[in-house]
Structure 1
Amino acid sequence: MNTATLTVPLYRLAHSRTGDKGNRSNISVIAWHPMLWNVLVEQITEAAVAHQFALRQPRQVTRYLLPQLQAMNLVLDDVLDGGVNDALNLDSHGKALSYLLLDMHVMVPAALAPHLAGPPI
């Protein structure tokens, strides 16, 4: 049995979009290939996302799975420093938060390497 794994940034497995409403951000994560879906479900958990955003101190992270689309929506509460009208930070809309998530490292079985986005490994 081959158990070799690769550690790669999430952007090799998925792309993302971000939206916001008040002090809440939602981040969609969509697999580049259906074969990568199970890796996303196993590793992009509420706890893992909360850890990735620890400096932003989300009060809660909720994950909604959309398996027929090989996608998930992550809702991060109280992560935008009060929202557009209250925040003093540069990105009060939270549009760049997807980049922080996509930079998260995940472990991928080496057999799935052909399905990763970007140059071959």
Structure 2
Amino acid sequence: MNSRKVFLRALAHARAGDKNNTSNIAVFAYDPAHYPVLEAQLTPQAVAAHMAGLVQGGVKRYAVPQLHALNFVMEQALEGGVNGSLNLDGHGKSWSSFLLGMEIDLPEDAPPPPKG
């Protein structure tokens, strides 16, 4: 099956959060028809590879199909957390934007990304 590369941001939006040295990013498909594509390609391994250098621990994925969402919990991710890090983004809030820069293979039979 043929596909084309699109940035994740064309198919989804995301929100980041933190607790101590753990970061999480929830990714929400704009169109429910794209959720299976995201579920197939946004594996913990793929997200860990994309976030290499930032995340030192494991990456766990939790599917929330009712919301067409995937939540990623990344351990040892914030250089000790906001109170223990000199990192300018100790909360990891910019990480959702970084993850949205990941390339996804959109099958040619999938609906096109929303315009906007």
TM-score using structure 1 length: 0.91
Q: Is the 8 A contact 2:55 2:78 kept in 1?
A: no
CA shift for structure 1 position 6:
1.0
Question: Is residue 86 from structure 1 mapped to residue 84 from structure 2 by the alignment?
Answer: yes
Q: Return the offset for 1:113.
A: 4.3
| Distance (whole Å) between structure 1 residues aligned to residue 115 and residue 84 of structure 2 | 38
| 1:59 alignment partner in structure 2 | 57
Match of 2:114 in 1: 117
List alignment gaps of at least 5 residues for structure 2. none
* Corresponding residue for residue 98 of structure 2: 100
Give the aligned partner of residue 16 of structure 2.
18
Structure 1 residue 69: deviation in Å?
1.1
| 1:55 Cα deviation from its structure 2 partner | 1.3
Q: Look up the SS of the partner of 2:72 in the other structure.
A: strand
Match of residue 43, structure 1, among 32, 37, 41: 41
1:42-77, CA deviations, whole angstroms, 9 ceiling, x for partnerless residues?
Answer: 000000000001111331000000111110110000
Count of aligned pairs: 116
CA RMSD of superposed structures (Å) = 1.2
After superposition, the C-alpha distances for 1:77-113 in whole angstroms (9 at most, x for unaligned) are 0111110011111100100000111000010012324
TM-score by length of 2: 0.94
After superposing on structure 2, the runs of 4+ consecutive aligned residues of structure 1 that deviate more than 4 Å are none
Letter in 2 for 1:47: Q
Stretches of structure 1 lacking an aligned partner (at least 5 in a row): none
Q: Tell me the SS of whatever aligns to 2:110.
A: helix
Instruction: Give distance in 1, aligned partners of 2:64 and 2:96.
Output: 18
Of stretches 50-59 and 71-80 in structure 1, the one that deviates more from structure 2 is: 50-59
Give the structure with the larger helix fraction.
Answer: 1
Quote the sequence identity (%).
44
